[in-house]
Amino acid sequence: MDFEIDSGWKLHPVGGDTGQAYMGTRAEEKLFLKRNSSPFLAALSVEGITPRLVWTKRIGNGDVLTAQEWLNGRTLKSTEMSSPSVAQLLSRIHNSEPLRRMLARVGGEEVTPQQLLQTYEHELPHDLKIHPLLDSILKKLKKEVTDMKTVVPRVCHGDIYQKNWLLSDENRLYLVDWDSAMLADPAMDLSMLLFQYVDRADWSEWLEHYGVTVTEELIERVTWYALMNYLIQTKRHHHEARFYEMNKDILKLQTLYQMPDTETD
Q: Please check whether residues 54 and 94 belong to one and the same domain.
A: no
Q: Please check whether residues 213 and 174 belong to one and the same domain.
A: yes
Domain total in the chain: 2
In this predicted structure, the answer to whether residue 122 has a pLDDT above a threshold of 50 is yes
Query: Does the residue 95 lie in any domain?
Result: yes
Q: What is the mean pLDDT of residues 186-201?
A: 96
In this predicted structure, the answer to whether residue 36 has a pLDDT above a threshold of 60 is yes
For residue 110, the model assigns a pLDDT of: 96
Residue 36, Ramachandran bin (φ over 0: left; ψ between -120 and 50: alpha; else beta): left
Cα-Cα end-to-end distance for the chain: 56
Q: Please check whether residues 80 and 180 belong to one and the same domain.
A: yes
For residue 262, the model assigns a pLDDT of: 44
The predicted model scores a pTM of 0.87
Q: Please check whether residues 105 and 210 belong to one and the same domain.
A: yes
Q: Please check whether residues 199 and 142 belong to one and the same domain.
A: yes
pLDDT over 70, % of the chain: 93
Q: Please check whether residues 195 and 145 belong to one and the same domain.
A: yes
Q: Please check whether residues 29 and 117 belong to one and the same domain.
A: no
In this predicted structure, the answer to whether residue 16 has a pLDDT above a threshold of 90 is no
Q: Which residues are catalytic?
A: 159
Q: Please check whether residues 65 and 79 belong to one and the same domain.
A: no
Q: How far is CA 159 from CA 21, 233, 262, in A?
A: 17, 12, 24
pLDDT: which is higher, 243 or 9: 243
Q: Please check whether residues 102 and 25 belong to one and the same domain.
A: no
Residue 248: partners with Cβ closer than 8 Å, 6 or more residues away: none
Q: Please check whether residues 164 and 242 belong to one and the same domain.
A: yes
For residue 129, the model assigns a pLDDT of: 97
What's the pLDDT tens digit per position in 143-185? 999 889 889 999 999 999 999 999 999 999 999 989 899 999 9
Which residues span the domain enclosing 51? 10-70
Of the pLDDT bands very low, low, confident and very high (cuts 50, 70, 90), residue 96 is very high
Residue 7: partners with Cβ closer than 8 Å, 6 or more residues away: none
Q: What is the domain-level CATH number for residue 91? A: 3.90.1200.10
Residue 1: partners with Cβ closer than 8 Å, 6 or more residues away: 11
Q: What is the mean pLDDT of residues 193-201?
A: 95
- Residues making up the chain, counted from first to last: 265
Of the pLDDT bands very low, low, confident and very high (cuts 50, 70, 90), residue 7 is low
Q: Please check whether residues 96 and 202 belong to one and the same domain.
A: yes
Q: Please check whether residues 222 and 150 belong to one and the same domain.
A: yes
Q: Which of 70, 94, 111 is the last residue of a domain?
A: 70
